[in-house]
Amino acid sequence: MSDTDAQLVARVQQGDKRAFDMLVLKYQHKIHSLISRYIRDHSEVQDVAQEAFIKAYRAINNFRSESAFYTWMYRIAINTAKNHLVSRSRRPPNTDIDIGESDDYAGFNVLQDNETPESVLHCEEVATVVAQALDGLPEDLRTAVTLREFDGLSYEDIADVMACPVGTVRSRIFRAREAIDKQLQPVLDK
């Protein structure tokens, strides 16, 4: 039987470094994916992810299990990525999803089932509009909708990651979806 995150955290807090290795193995891909929405360079993504895990390890004794470990880790990863960008005097990328990567997100392949030239062009147009709509969102809305739609986090977990009330998360996601729908509607009506 494998240990739960809470059990692993307790073991780390008691000095078991291997327990933290298990947490890293469990969440490293999700953390890399999250950071890659802010930083495009793969080697920088790896460096920032490693830095985030190091920060988490150093702060693990302050973790009080009031939220899930991974929401705490997500918050650290997002802050580390943002700090990295600030330290490099760069702004976050204009979009959370690169058009070239748009076929990686769930649901895109469903749109590609009818591969006529017209349908392929339409899919590309939809992906472009979605990416531009995400690009145009304020950071708080973009982060909330990305954590919900692409990472599948619950409203409660997003509230923990973003350090705000659940009602605020619901409002941000609603406003983000509404803004994306508004820009997408003309394309879908064609």
Residue 94 lies in a domain: no
Chain centroid offset of residue 26 CA: 16
Residues 73, 105 within the same domain? no
pLDDT at 118: 67
Residues 103, 157 within the same domain? yes
| Entry pTM | 0.56
- Of 104, 93, 119, which is closest to residue 150 (Cα–Cα)? 104
Residues 81, 111 within the same domain? no
Torsion of CA 127, 132, 137, 143, to 10 degrees: 50
pLDDT digits (tens, 9 = 90+) for 51-85: 999 999 999 998 887 778 888 898 899 889 888 88
| Final residue before a domain boundary, out of 87, 110, 138 | 87
Integer Cα distance of 119 and 125 in angstroms: 10
Domain that holds residue 117: 99-188
Radius of gyration of the chain (CA): 18
Cα distances (Å, whole numbers) of residue 81 to 25, 61, 163:
19, 22, 16
Residue 124 lies in a domain: yes
Structure tokens at 68: 């899930």
Q: Give CB contacts under 8 A, 24+ apart, made by 77-80.
A: 77/31, 77/34, 77/35, 77/48, 77/49, 77/52, 78/34, 78/38, 78/143, 78/161, 80/35, 80/48, 80/51, 80/52, 80/55
Integer Cα distance of 147 and 5 in angstroms: 20
How many domains are contained in the chain?
A: 2
pLDDT at 131: 80
Residues 134, 77 within the same domain? no
Q: In CATH, what number is assigned to the domain containing residue 43?
A: 1.10.1740.10
pLDDT at 122: 64
Residue 92 lies in a domain: no
In the chain, which residues have pLDDT < 50? 1, 90-95, 97-114
Residues 121, 178 within the same domain? yes
- Report the 10 Å Cβ neighbour count for 12: 22
pLDDT at 51: 94
pLDDT at 58: 92
| Final residue before a domain boundary, out of 40, 64, 87 | 87
Residues 60, 128 within the same domain? no
Q: In CATH, what number is assigned to the domain containing residue 138?
A: 1.10.10.10
- Report the 10 Å Cβ neighbour count for 167: 10
